[in-house]
Chains A and B, each alone.
Chain A
Amino acid sequence: DIQMTQSPSSLSASVGDRVTITCRASQTISNFLNWYQQKPGRAPKVLIYGASSLQSGVPSRFSGSGSGTDFTLTISSLQPEDFATYYCQQSYSTLSITFGQGTRLEIK
């Protein structure tokens, strides 16, 4: 199985900050990497697919980059509604899907 490791596990930041979350795969996964945001009591919402493509309707302050084994999700200027938990997810082996353990983004 391909293991996904996110860092940090939790993060405190302020409104307006630039934030970066990283995700590392245990083997190369090309660009088959997606990012999700989950708020308490809600289903996850896809933000980025294919490592860098912005899902329709997602604000442009969210961006993704990376290829191979190392990936990043960047929020350019944190807004109050961005405080949530973020997950990466790989699908290198078609439909053999694994998620990272999550990064909890909290208000400083």
Chain B
Amino acid sequence: QVQLQESGPGLVKPSETLSLTCTVSGYSISSGFYWGWIRQPPGKGLEWIGSIYHSGNTYYNPSLKSRVTISVETSKNQFSLKLRSVTAADTALYYCARVNCSGGTCYPDYWGQGTLVTVSS
């Protein structure tokens, strides 16, 4: 069974960098699939942040692209998110997910439980 677990600080100061890691178990990242980050502000909807393939190819939400870096570390079976220059608007529940691209469409089929990151001084 594929499982994902987010980890990282729950509180980040404004203007600093948010850093999260997703550890995958039950499946080797090197075997395929894309791996992505999605966030959800409290009480609001879902926003795609970006995705990475095990080879390192990345795709980012254009609205966040200038501040986001997603990387992968296959030896640890992990992938990571860095979001720079955060503001209160970046306060959200951050999910990592496996992205299944089947028949042309891509969708997260396995999700972590999510980790709440609050941006506040």
Contact = CB atoms under 8 A, between A and B. Distances in A.
Interface of A: 1, 30-34, 36, 43-46, 49-51, 53, 55, 87, 89, 91, 94-102
Contacts, number: 72
B75 to A, nearest CB: 24
Given A43-B95, A43-B111, A46-B108, A99 B103 contact: no
Interface residues on B, range: 20 to 34
Contacts of A31: 104-105
Contact of A87 (B46, B97, B105, B106): B46
Interface of B: 34, 36, 45-48, 51, 59, 61-63, 95, 97, 99-109, 111-114
Which secondary structure characterizes the binding site on chain B?
strand
B111 A91 contact: no
B59 A101 contact: no
Q: Among the interface residues B46, B47, B99, B109, which one has the most CB atoms of the partner chain A within 10 A?
A: B46
Contacts of B109: 46, 55
A50 B104 contact: yes
Given A95-B34, A95-B51, A96-B59, A44 B105 contact: no
